[in-house]
């Protein structure tokens, strides 16, 4: 990705520190409340997420099953930046007053617990307090092992994609298949990640969504309000 700071990057200490310092100059913050390590070194990108009053800066970290996938493929595993190096960089950022807490994104139960295990061995390491994973009425993978990890370790879920890439809005179920510029229409056949994440051709996905739309209609709710009103979206380590 040549448009990301001049070329492919990895989630090592140098790039973590560079991302933090660059965002300070761009946004004029005095500190980040929570710094989130974002998934997959192989895809190497840098992303800024702003949620209400909490600011998150993300870089990309290690193979994990993607966006609702439930199967782990060991053949896709590869060597990545050691967690120790990443946490030492975060510890230095905390000591410098630049970061208060740390979080993870698109992680698995193994990844969450491994970060916690390594953090316990590093004096002054920031506690992992948030997990930003996809969660919606169509993507409930958090509800199994991750929910257990987060409950016991007091980690809060920051759910993203609550509309399942717009599917739960009902727009793709219009007679014309929805707006031409809607993401799953605009990039049909060119966006394998999104199409595999929320497969509109899946009979189960279509059937479940139609039932959600019926519930929204029955109670006089807009489908978006029903999807975002899912109380599980705000669940945390409490």
What are the sequence ranges of the domains in the chain? 1-161, 165-232
* Better-scored residue on pLDDT, 93 or 23: 93
Say if residue 219's pLDDT is above 90.
yes
Domain 1-161, CATH 3.20.20.100 — does that match? Answer: yes
Say if residue 175's pLDDT is above 80.
yes
pLDDT of 157 reads 92
- Average pLDDT (66-80) is 60
- Average pLDDT (1-20) is 64
Lowest mean pLDDT among 41-45, 83-87, 227-231, 232-236: 41-45
pLDDT of 60 reads 35
- Average pLDDT (117-133) is 88
pTM score, whole prediction: 0.72
pLDDT of 117 reads 92
pLDDT of 51 reads 31
Lowest mean pLDDT among 180-184, 195-199, 207-211: 195-199
- Average pLDDT (189-197) is 68
From 62, 83, 64, 82, select the one nearest 126 (Cα to Cα).
83
Distance between CA atoms of 143 and 206, rounded to whole angstroms?
A: 21
pLDDT of 46 reads 32
Query: 36 exposed, middle or buried (CB, 10 Å; 0-12, 13-18, 19+)?
Result: buried
| Side-chain-side CA neighbours of residue 33 (13 Å) | 9
pLDDT of 71 reads 66
Identify the band that residue 13 occupies on the pLDDT scale cut at 50, 70 and 90. confident
pLDDT of 72 reads 63
* Better-scored residue on pLDDT, 32 or 136: 136
pLDDT of 31 reads 67
Where are the strands (E) in 126-215, listed by range? Answer: 128-132, 156-157
- Average pLDDT (16-35) is 72
From 225, 147, 161, select the one nearest 198 (Cα to Cα).
161
């Amino acid at each position: 990705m040549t448009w990301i700071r001049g070329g492919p990057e990895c989630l090592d200490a140098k790039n973590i520190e560079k991302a933090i310092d660059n965002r300070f100059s761009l946004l004029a913050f005095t500190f980040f409340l929570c710094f989130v390590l974002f998934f997959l070194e192989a895809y190497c990108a840098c992303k800024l997420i702003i949620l209400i009053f909490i600011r998150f800066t993300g870089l990309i970290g290690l193979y994990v099953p993607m966006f609702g996938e439930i199967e782990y493929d060991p053949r896709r595993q590869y060597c990545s930046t050691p967690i120790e190096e990443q946490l030492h960089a975060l510890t230095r950022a905390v000591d410098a007053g630049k970061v208060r807490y740390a979080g993870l994104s698109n992680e698995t139960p193994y990844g969450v617990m491994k970060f916690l295990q390594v953090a316990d061995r590093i004096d002054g390491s920031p506690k992992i307090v948030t997990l930003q994973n996809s969660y919606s009425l169509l993507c409930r993978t958090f509800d199994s092992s991750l929910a257990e990890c987060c409950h016991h370790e007091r980690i809060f879920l920051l759910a993203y994609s609550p509309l399942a890439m717009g599917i739960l809005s009902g727009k793709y179920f219009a007679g014309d298949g929805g707006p031409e510029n809607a993401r799953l229409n605009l990039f049909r056949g060119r966006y394998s990640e999104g199409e595999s994440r929320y497969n509109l051709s899946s009979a189960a996905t279509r059937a479940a969504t139609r039932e959600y739309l019926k519930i929204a209609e029955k109670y006089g709710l807009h489908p978006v309000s029903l999807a975002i009103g899912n109380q599980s979206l705000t669940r945390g380590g409490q």
